[in-house]
């Protein structure tokens, strides 16, 4: 049986009705982020659904143009609860790690290469909302202009 363009459009529409969005199905499951450290050629990779983080960088090897050195997920960098994950780099030019962010819960981890593996700190959301409100009030009062 040959498929027609109409049949292919219907199949695509059915796929789009599944829990995963069409955009995610088309765009791919991974995001990439370079380490902010300006003298480090490391790229981090995250699985947007599982939150698993890995990294690769260029390395030199005698007799070759170079090799790709990859660091697998280690402690804390493995699969997390399914969610919507991303990577964010700080603007600190000497920072070799990146933040893993859970876009649904707001939890963040710091991920970096240690002993030839990517490791991540436990996910944290920050202060509870009532403490956060107090901190916001305090920072607003600190940021307020002073009277001469």
pLDDT digits (tens, 9 = 90+) for 62-109: 888 889 999 999 999 999 999 999 999 998 888 999 999 999 999 999
For residue 26, pLDDT beyond 60? no
**pLDDT reported for residue 143:** 37
Angle CA(42)–CA(91)–CA(46) in degrees, nearest 5?
45
What is the model's pLDDT at position 127? Answer: 66
Please check the confidence at residue 114 and state whether its pLDDT lies above 50.
yes
pLDDT score at 137:
42
């Amino acid at each position: 049986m040959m498929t027609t363009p109409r049949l292919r459009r219907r199949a695509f529409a059915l796929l789009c009705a599944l829990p995963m969005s069409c955009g995610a199905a088309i765009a791919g499951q991974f995001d990439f982020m370079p380490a902010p450290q300006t003298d480090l050629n490391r790229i981090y990779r995250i699985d947007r659904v599982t939150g698993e983080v890995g990294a690769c960088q260029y390395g030199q090897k005698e007799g070759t143009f170079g090799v790709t050195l990859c660091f697998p997920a280690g402690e804390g960098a493995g699969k997390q609860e399914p969610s919507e994950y991303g990577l964010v780099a700080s603007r600190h030019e000497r920072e070799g790690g990146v933040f893993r962010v859970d876009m649904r819960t707001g939890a963040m981890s710091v991920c970096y290469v240690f002993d030839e593996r990517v490791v991540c700190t436990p996910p944290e959301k920050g202060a509870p909302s009532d403490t956060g409100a107090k901190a916001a009030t305090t920072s607003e009062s600190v940021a307020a202009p002073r009277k001469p």
